[in-house]
């Protein structure tokens, strides 16, 4: 976790759990501070009583041995009842908050989130598919249906909502409503394999008009498909890239991230590298150098071939 924190890019979000940007995150933070306060009162109460008894009832030279006391019903009732009431109160508050957070608004935006080793897939209405960067509109509730394609992952964006697991064969529902435009960093928070630490994600909260434009652009086919006679397309086809990746009009692979609009994303490899032509070239030359164990093999492209592939992908916007 420390390495993840140090590697996190500057953004509107933070992994410190007290900078909430949604009603859901604020309620979690409020409950967090309630538990901290109650725990602090108990901790310092017990420590204070311990210090008081050590000083007041310490052994003194010549003093007689005190008479032992076996049981005090009133005291035992108090120290049983007080923690019980505190725990019931916190539990009741938690249940109320969970109910309010899972209430679905009539205009909620439904998005399916699928966890993969080690990247995130997002499916919007009308067959819009994205990877690793989740765009949402400010001020509108988002309803996430969380799924997994392989093992258990945990979807977590601290500033927007709590943690929720993606479990194979099961749908989990989680909601949040972003109140402020910006980029919010997140990650898988449950160990899921070799590259768990690089299973990063970013939520991009757009103003409603900007989100509508983004979604409309994602629905559109590519403005122009590269020529099938180009060296890059031949490399793409000869190395069976389309067997794993979808590029609308070129391939329909479903195993790996959809690349139709990859040129418009800010990162590649689920946050491993910033999406620049230079980094894309490095990734194409040897993805295992940056994400060992990922399902994308090293095709041993020459530097020129890697540059051609990178140029092809960067043009997909």
Distance CA 83, CA 141 (A): 37
Alpha-carbon distances of 277 from 29, 82, 149, 301, rounded to whole Å: 40, 62, 30, 16
Q: Are 270 and 200 in contact (CB under 8 A)?
A: yes
- Give the pLDDT score at 151: 95
Alpha-carbon distances of 211 from 199, 200, 217, 247, rounded to whole Å: 24, 22, 10, 22
- Residue 192, token pair as written in the block: 């899921």
- Please give the full DSSP string across 240-254, using - where no structure is assigned: TGGGT-EETTTEE--
Packing angle, helices 231-238 and 303-314, rounded to 10? 100
CATH architecture for segment(s) 231-314: Sandwich (2.60)
- Give the pLDDT score at 63: 80
- Give the pLDDT score at 5: 41
Q: Are 236 and 250 in contact (CB under 8 A)?
A: yes
Compute the Cα dihedral for 149, 151, 282, 183 and give only its sign. Answer: positive
Q: Are 290 and 276 in contact (CB under 8 A)?
A: no
Q: Which residues pair with 122 in a beta bridge?
A: 113, 130
Packing angle, helices 277-285 and 303-314, rounded to 10? 130
Residue-wise pLDDT tens digits, 277-290: 999 999 999 999 99
- Give the pLDDT score at 12: 40
- Give the pLDDT score at 36: 87
Residue-wise pLDDT tens digits, 146-179: 999 999 999 999 888 888 999 999 999 989 999 9
Compute the Cα dihedral for 274, 277, 282, 288 and give only its sign. Answer: positive
Q: Which residues contact 147 (CB under 8 A, 6 or more apart)?
A: 112, 113, 114, 115, 166, 167, 168, 170, 171
Q: Which residues pair with 109 in a beta bridge?
A: 142
- Give the pLDDT score at 249: 78
Q: Which residues contact 120 (CB under 8 A, 6 or more apart)?
A: 113, 114, 131, 132, 134, 155, 199, 201, 270
| Domain coordinates in residue numbering, the chain | 12-59+69-218, 231-314
Distance CA 107, CA 98 (A): 20
Q: 12-59+69-218 and 231-314 share one CATH topology?
A: yes
| Range in 12-26, 137-151, 157-171, 201-215 the model is least confident about | 12-26
- Residue 9, token pair as written in the block: 């890019």
Domain 12-59+69-218 fold is Immunoglobulin-like (2.60.40)
Asked whether residue 41 carries a pLDDT value surpassing 90, the answer given is no
Asked whether residue 7 carries a pLDDT value surpassing 80, the answer given is no
């Amino acid at each position: 976790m420390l390495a993840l924190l140090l590697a996190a890019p500057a953004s509107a979000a933070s992994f410190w759990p007290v900078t909430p940007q949604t009603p859901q995150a604020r309620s979690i933070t409020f409950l967090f501070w309630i538990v901290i306060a109650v725990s602090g009162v108990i901790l310092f109460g017990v420590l204070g009583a311990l210090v008081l008894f050590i000083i007041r009832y310490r052994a003194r030279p010549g003093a007689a041995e005190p008479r032992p006391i076996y049981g005090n019903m009133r005291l035992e009732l108090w120290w049983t009842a007080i923690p019980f009431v505190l725990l019931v109160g916190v539990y009741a508050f938690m249940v109320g908050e969970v109910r309010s957070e899972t209430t679905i608004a009539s205009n909620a935006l439904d998005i399916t989130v699928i966890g993969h080793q080690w990247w995130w897939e997002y499916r919007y209405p009308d067959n819009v598919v994205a990877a690793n960067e989740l765009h949402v509109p400010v001020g509108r509730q988002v309803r996430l249906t969380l799924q997994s394609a392989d093992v258990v992952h945990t979807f977590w964006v601290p500033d927007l909502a709590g943690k929720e697991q993606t479990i194979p064969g099961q749908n989990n529902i989680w909601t949040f409503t972003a109140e402020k435009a910006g980029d919010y960093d997140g990650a898988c928070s449950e160990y899921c394999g070799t590259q768990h630490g690089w299973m990063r994600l970013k939520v991009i909260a757009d103003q409603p008009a900007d989100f509508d434009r983004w979604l409309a652009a994602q629905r559109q086919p590519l403005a122009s498909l590269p020529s099938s006679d180009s060296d890059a397309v031949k490399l793409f086809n000869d190395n069976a890239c389309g067997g794993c990746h979808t590029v609308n009009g070129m391939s329909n692979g479903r195993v790996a991230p959809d690349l139709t609009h990859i040129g418009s994303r800010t990162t590649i490899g689920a946050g491993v590298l910033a999406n620049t032509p230079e980094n894309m070239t490095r990734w194409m030359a040897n993805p295992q150098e940056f994400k060992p164990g990922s399902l994308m093999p090293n095709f041993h492209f020459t530097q020129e071939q890697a540059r051609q592939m990178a140029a092809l992908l960067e043009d997909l916007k």
